[in-house]
Amino acid sequence: MQEFIEMAEWLLHQNLQAGDPVESLPTPAFQANGRKYVSFSTNNYLSIATSARFTGAARRGLETYGVGNCESRLLSGNLAVYGELEHKLAGCKKKDAAVLFATGYMANLGVLSSLPQTSKYARIYGFTGAREYTYAYFSDELNHVSIREGIRMSGAARATYRHLDLNHLEGLLKKSTATTKIIVTDGVFSQDGDIAPLPDLLQLAELYDAALYVDDAHGTGILGENGGGICEHFGVTSARIIYMGTLSKAYGGIGGFIATEAHIAKIIRLACSAYGFTSALPPDQAVALSEAVDMVVDEPERRARLWENQRYFVTRMSELPYPLVSTGSPIVPILVGDEDAADALALSLGESGIHVDAVRFPAVPLRKARLRIQLNAGHTSQDIDQLIDTLRVHQHGASATIMSTLGMTK
């Protein structure tokens, strides 16, 4: 016990990231300490979470089913509304089937840790196929932590390729003798905002007979003409793609899902304990999320406003000397480098009523701290002007520190 006390004491003094209490959620306007802010750090990209249509559906679900499910879908908790939501999600992703999870984190952790157990699990139930299967993961170094953890827990062979370095990935695939290879990538990388080159990854998957697992947490509902996500954005469909999305960002609720071929969905339902050995989503969430899936399609003006805001922000930022990562997604980080400088800049913005998270180690490598700007359908051009004007006020102090920590000149 003493060890935990000592560690806690030490960690307390490390200035680690901890969310401050807030009085309302960003829509993107919100309230904290009795003061109004506009957030540029919320995953509620389309401002659906608090919209009347979404909360109205949640209310209907609440009145029909009550608050909690209190049971697993493998037992008596398998309400028809989950199947209806899965059917809609599969349709959006042009896949045979979808499988719901409590969160996106659990979807990654559960599925990636259990897929390589498929043959072991099947043999317990009497599967007698003669072939021995061996599994190997190939994972981008900047993939989300839930991916890295799921892969680690699987016990399968694993190789990490340098961020978006397809030559490196190909070298690793070439060397592998595994019978079942699975390439894993974020669709939109959560801290850098860049978009994975899906067609090129798919080409490699085809060449080396691999599956391609894509975590599209930040692309779901955002990318593509109808918000179908990264596959729609690139116009690709393939049975090799195992698509993972969250319901907690553009869709405005909570939960995660896998959209895939029918046989893989079946395996997940049977062999993935994170699906079956936990309580099902609160039913009001399923009803509300079913509405959100429709909203993403039949309220395209939300997505149009989001992209307009993204373009406006990127254009206006070119007036300022900050190093901006030009990403093509609603996540546009301002690289700062030094952790304290990132904190100081975020604090200065906060004093002007603008909330931006300074993202720092361990979410990103040491000395690669950044202000992760996330554009939102609910931002007005005045909100963005206010952000730019405040950054302009701080540009001289901030940019000197930024340039020196990043070793840049501009």
| Footprint on this chain of ligand PMP (rule: CB under 6 A) | 103-105, 108, 144, 146, 186, 190, 215, 217-218, 246, 248, 256
**Quick check: is 249 catalytic?**
yes
CB-wise, 154 or 399, nearer to ligand PMP? 154
Shortest distance, position 34 Cβ to ligand PMP, whole Å: 28
| Nearest residue (CB) to ligand PMP, 191 versus 390 | 191
Minimum Å distance from CB 93 to ligand PMP? 16
What span, in angstroms and rounded, lies between the C-alpha atoms of 277 and 1? 31
Name the minimum Å distance from CB 144 to ligand PMP: 4
Distance CA 302, CA 180 (A): 40
- Residue 181 among the catalytic residues: no
Q: CA-CA distance, 63 to 269, in Å (whole number)?
A: 29
Name the residue nearer to ligand PMP (CB basis): 139 or 246.
246
Q: Which of 190, 248, 290, 399 is catalytic?
A: 190
Residue 294 to residue 215: CA distance in whole angstroms: 21
Helix (H) or strand (E) holding 346: helix 339-351
User: At 288, phi and psi to the nearest 5?
Assistant: -65, -40
CB of 369 to ligand PMP, least distance (A): 17
Catalytic residue, from 144, 249, 368, 379: name it.
Answer: 249
Q: For this structure, is 174 an active site residue?
A: no
Nearer to ligand PMP, 146 or 390 (CB): 146
The catalytic residue among 93, 144, 181, 218 is 218
- Using the minimum distance from each CB to ligand PMP, give the nearer residue, 214 or 267: 214
Residue type, 40: F
- Residue 38's beta-bridge partner residues? 29, 354
225 Cβ contact list (under 8 Å, min separation 6): 232
Cβ of residue 195: shortest distance to ligand PMP, in angstroms? 12
CB 267 within 8 A of CB 118: yes
Judge contact between 304 and 378, C-beta under 8 A: no
In the complex, residue closest to ligand PMP by CB: 104
Cis geometry, peptide bond prior to residue 28 (ω within 30 degrees of 0): yes
Active site positions, annotated: 190, 218, 249
